[in-house]
A and B are shown apart, each in its own frame.
Chain A
Amino acid sequence: MLILQAENVIKQYRQYDEVIYAVNRASLKVEDGEFVAIMGSSGSGKSTFLHVMAGLIRPDYGHVKIRGNDITEMPQDELNRFRGQFIGMVFQKHNLIPQLTALENIMIPTVMCNKEEFHFEEHLKKLITTLKISDRLNHLPSELSGGQQQRVAIARAMINRPQVLFADEPTGNLDRANADEVLDLLLKTREVIGQTIVMVTHDISIAEKADKIYIMDNGGLELYKDNKAI
């Protein structure tokens, strides 16, 4: 089943008299449960495309549908609620709120988006055990290492069991060992929850673990490798 569909997405920025196409007619289709990696050099537009698909930025042209809902047409309030219900987001720079503890940061989505039928306690235990952050829950982000901060960010993105997880170079700031560990944890957690992952990375060894690898260049997107088919 098609869970994510981006069609002819264009996002441009105007810098004085110059127009820069960060995303230029990019299209992507993702099946439910797939793990898709988007690669590309710095400035190729992959983060912008990911943010458009997550509804954090409005495209200038084109549509993004998640679960058949066109999020580009949604009013901002409705889009925020939809994201809280179905989308998880891991940022490259973790983006943890500095004044809240690790646990409080993880719990933000549950506070912001009350899923009445959802009991997060059991799920939280599983997540923090899998991500190995049980003993760091009452620490502030400034008291955590980069790897630990990223794990907290992943836990935060997954606490609401989103159907689609967008990850923007989640291992970009980590060393090899930490990067592999975080990715393994992410995939393990994905198995526990069962979800779709769209990840932006410039690390080929990480991308190789994805079902499909896309390459982004100058705002355009192309399928590079279909590991699933292979």
Chain B
Amino acid sequence: MEYIIEYLRRNISLAWKGVFFHLRQYVSFFIAMLVIQTMYGIVTFSNDRNNKLEYGIISEVYDYDLMFIDLNEQQRLTLVNDTMTVFGDEHIFDLVRETPRAEEGSYDRRYDIYIKFVGDKDSALAEFQSRYYDELSSLSKEGFRVSASPMMSYESYRIQSAFYYLAFAAILTAVSVYFMMNLYSIRLNHYSFTYGIYMTFGADFKKLFSTAAWEMLIINFITFIPSCIIAALIDLIIYSAGGSGFTFHFFGIFKVLLFSLIITLTSVTLPMLRFSRQETMRALLAEDNSNLVVSPRKSFDFHKKKYPLVYEFAGLWRFRRYYVKQTAAAVVFTAIFICGAFLSYEKAYSVSLDMPQFMFNFGSNNSYTSTEYKELSEIEGITGIEKNFSCRADEIKSHVLFSKPNVKTSEVIYDEAHPDMAATNFVLYHPGDEETVGILGKGSFEGDLSGILSSDRNIIISDSIKNTYGFDFNPGDKVLIAKNTGKIKEIDGMFTGLELLREQFRFYRFGYEEYTICAVLNDDVTITGMNIYMSDKAFYDLTGMEVSYKSASLYIDKNTDVETTRAIYDSLREYAGYYNGATVRNLEQSMDYKVESSKQKPGTYAAVASLVVIGTPLIWLFSQILYYKKRENEFDILQAFGSTEGEIKRIYVIDAVFSAVLGILFCVIMDWLALKGIYYLTNVVLPMFYRETIRYPFVIPVWALAAALLLTLVSAVASSMVPYILYLKSKEVKQEPSDILAETESV
């Protein structure tokens, strides 16, 4: 115990002195740690808050555990009578509500019964199944239909939510570790002499690591509480502004502490490991900036002089690797900032989209006509109807040929028979009438949508394929649509997609019809391919299928409250009762909207991105201040040999201009690549893992890009001019009489 106390005392004392004696060296680490912990605080506290909000909204919508659909009177009574059981564990469920409706062609009534279990849901469900399922089945020749609410499996929601939090935290950890590692590497680079002395007198990796880690831990603990307070305040502002209300969950601070400790320890491990593996003398020799110099002789050769006539340029060239590495390390944070800004935009965009609340399926013997449109439109609360009917190109052995200049996707193949064309069978053909044109008109498009009504040779086409931008079409462009006319040989059933099309080119015969694009849809997406709309007649001619809409997507106002949504659903169920085999599926988009809009993710992403970008000035300034501190001796020598103060200032100014130009160049390139990368990730890669139904437009967040460029410019200039001001100040201080006296005494 005594040993442990002594060990802690010595290490903390040494680290404390190390940090506070040269506080200026560690200011960057204090700021960086404050930023990192604040980011974690924002994300963690908002995640805790979101879980609470989500549970509240979902449990309000799903106030039941099981929903029995279309029960007859006897089945209903079986359940309703048993809710009156009050003795002991006999009572396992409560009746939440029941909705009766008339049955077409009968005096009987049908009921939807909603029940909620008492006590543990799993054991209650098992008991319920054994007690009632057989009986309910025996009371009707059709048996019974039951649907479980998400509340029955809410634990899986929690796991999903925890997974998202961990995934986001992992990304944040990677960024934070990179941030801290960069700072620590700069520190190691500039203070390698001190660590070299430690190595000379026996310090191995373990010792060097513990020395560094203790210093970082002290910083970590000092910034922890302030950063948690700042994070909570930022969350409070974001949630209050969004109208969700913010409550603080105390347990979150332990998660923040845990992650910040992981980051602290990880970010010193790698730089220290690399450092400790080097020869001790190399560490000792890097007392000046000589370790940052690249081939000075080559720099002279570069100027075609034996000695550089423009000293400042020679300096830039000698330290070229340092400048490039440092600029890249600093500017990369603007790229992360741009990604955060883009994600914030995407989240806001997805929340703003209108999605169908119900899917009405008319059954195999019925179809959607203008009568149904009128009747469904009259149901109170229904704000939009979108009828659905389509045919996949590969199902009818068809495909589409596009002119090569139109094609911006790899989801196509090229066939020798059509040298200037690209082909794909990832196509959905849709019939279209006035109603379709009206619905499509609500989206983003170019051209004349009603063109398909005036000519059977006109089509409306989407410019995306598999949920991502794929074609550069203009109204008036032509495409060829293939119709199978025969075959040379049957194709193996194992082929799908473009491989199937390749085989079809070899063994099938096709006739082609030319169609003119009358309108291009910009936000009409399908995960399986691209959409083409044409007149009913053209659709029939191509597919051989009579146009018969079997389902319709129904929209309601996103802000509709739970009770009204239930009433609309009940009305639709009532209406469905008039059609044999018709069903209504509640897609709960209104609930999803409420959940997503209450989570305030756009604000959270924007806040985190804005904090990340602090890395740019921080790394630049930290590195340059240390770099110039070591060059001050060089400037003193230059002045001793006749350089004027103006010439010294010129070195700083030229450096500032050079850093600014290099920084802006890096910023534009890196931010553009990052933007493209995050767009590709969210529009192409991630949808491979779940069924994404939104195609996000590629938008350059102009305000974020402008902010990134401005910050880069200011940071680059400041990174040279702040050290210059410090240099001037240090010269002023040196000239104080007391300092001269002190220097004389020490000698």
Taking beta carbons and an 8 Å cutoff, which residues of A are in contact with B?
Answer: 16, 51, 55-58, 76-78, 80-81, 83-85, 89, 95, 97, 99-100, 104, 108-109, 111-113, 142-145, 156, 160
Indicate whether A56 sits within 8 Å of B200 (C-beta atoms), given known contacts A76-B279, A99-B22: yes
Is B148 positioned at the interface, with any CB of A under 8 Å from its CB? no
Q: Does B746 contact A (CB under 8 A)?
A: yes
Is B284 a contact partner of A112 (Cβ separation < 8 A)?
A: no
Asked if residues A143 and B197 are in contact (CB atoms below 8 Å), the reply is no
Question: Contacts A16-B297, A77-B276, A80-B203: A145 and B197 contacting too (C-beta < 8 A)?
Answer: no
Closest 5 CB pairs of A and B: A84-B202, A113-B202, A109-B201, A112-B203, A77-B204
What CA separation (Å) do A84 and B276 show in the bound complex? Answer: 14
B-chain residues with CB within 8 Å of residue A108 when the two chains form the complex: 197-198, 201
Kindly list chain A residues whose C-beta atoms are within 8 Å of the C-beta of B512. Answer: none
- In the bound complex, do residue A57 and residue B281 qualify as a contact, i.e. CB atoms below 8 Å apart? yes
Q: For the A-B complex with A77-B204, A95-B200, A145-B746 known, give 12 more contacts whose Cβ atoms are closer than 8 Å.
A: A56-B280, A57-B279, A76-B280, A77-B277, A80-B202, A89-B200, A95-B284, A97-B197, A99-B22, A108-B197, A112-B198, A112-B201
Give 20 pairs: A residue, B residue, CB < 8 Å, sorted on A.
A55-B280, A57-B281, A58-B279, A76-B276, A76-B277, A76-B279, A77-B204, A77-B277, A84-B203, A89-B201, A97-B193, A97-B194, A97-B197, A108-B198, A113-B207, A142-B746, A145-B746, A145-B747, A156-B201, A160-B202
Q: What residues of B have a CB within 8 angstroms of the CB of A89 in the complex?
A: 200-201
For A113, give its contact among B22, B197, B203, B278 (CB under 8 Å). Answer: B203
Is the CB–CB distance between A85 and B279 below 8 Å?
Answer: no
Q: Is the CB of B746 within 8 A of A112?
A: no
Does residue B21 face the partner (Cβ distance < 8 Å to A)? yes
**Smallest Cβ distance from B277 to chain A, in angstroms?**
5
Structural contact, A80 and B10, CB atoms closer than 8 A: no
Q: Which residues of A contact B171 (CB under 8 A)?
A: none
Tell me whether B482 is interfacial, beta carbon within 8 Å: no
- CB of A85 within 8 A of CB of B200, answer no
B197-A95 in contact (CB<8A)? yes
The residues of B that contact A84 with a CB separation of less than 8 Å are 201-204
Which residue of chain A lies nearest to B207 when distances are taken between CB atoms in the complex? A112
Give Cα distance in the complex from A78 to B280, angstroms: 12
Assembly CA distance A58 to B277 (angstroms): 12
A150 to chain B minimum Cβ distance, whole angstroms, is 14
A108-B198, A160-B201 given as contacts; is B746 within 8 A of A99 (CB)?
no
Nearest CB on B from A206, distance (A): 23
**Assembly CA distance A194 to B334 (angstroms):** 61
- Judge whether B711 is part of the interface by a CB distance below 8 angstroms: no
Q: Report A-chain residues with C-beta under 8 Å of the C-beta of B297.
A: 16
Distance in Å from the Cβ of A200 to the closest Cβ of chain B? 15
Contact partners of B197 in chain A: CB under 8 A: 95, 97, 108
Q: How far is A142 from B10 in the complex, measured between Cα atoms in Å?
A: 24
A143 to B297, CA, bound (A): 38
Decide if A144 touches B14 in the complex (CB within 8 Å).
Answer: no
Contact assessment for B199 and A80 in the assembled complex, using a CB-CB cutoff below 8 Å: yes
Contacts of B18 in A (CB 8 A): 99
B510 in the interface, Cβ–Cβ < 8 Å? no
* In the complex, B727 has a CB within 8 A of chain A: no
Say if the beta carbon of B30 comes within 8 Å of chain A: no
The A-contacting residues of B in range 60-87, CB under 8 angstroms, are none
A83 with B200: in contact, given A77-B205, A95-B284, A145-B747 (CB under 8 Å)?
yes
A57 and B200 alpha carbons, distance in the complex (Å): 11
A100 to B201, CA, bound (A): 15
A12 CB to nearest chain B CB (Å) = 15
Q: Tell me, in angstroms, the Cα distance from A85 to B200 when the chains sit together.
A: 11
* A76-B277, A76-B278, A142-B746 given; A109·B22 CB < 8 A: no
- A84 to B10 alpha-carbon distance, docked (Å): 18
A95–B281 Cα distance when bound, in Å, is 12
Give B180-216 as 1s and 0s: 1 = Cβ < 8 Å from A's Cβ atoms.
0000000000000110011111111111000000000
Q: What is the minimal beta-carbon distance from B29 to any residue of chain A, in angstroms?
A: 16
What residues of chain B lie closer than 8 Å to A77, measured between beta carbons? 204-206, 276-277
**Interface mask (B1-41 → A, CB under 8 Å = 1, otherwise 0):** 00000000010001001100110000000000000000000
Q: Specify which chain A residues have a CB less than 8 angstroms from the CB of B10 in the assembled complex.
A: 111
Complexed CA–CA distance, A111 and B15 (Å): 12
> What residue in chain B is nearest A51 (Cβ atoms)?
B281
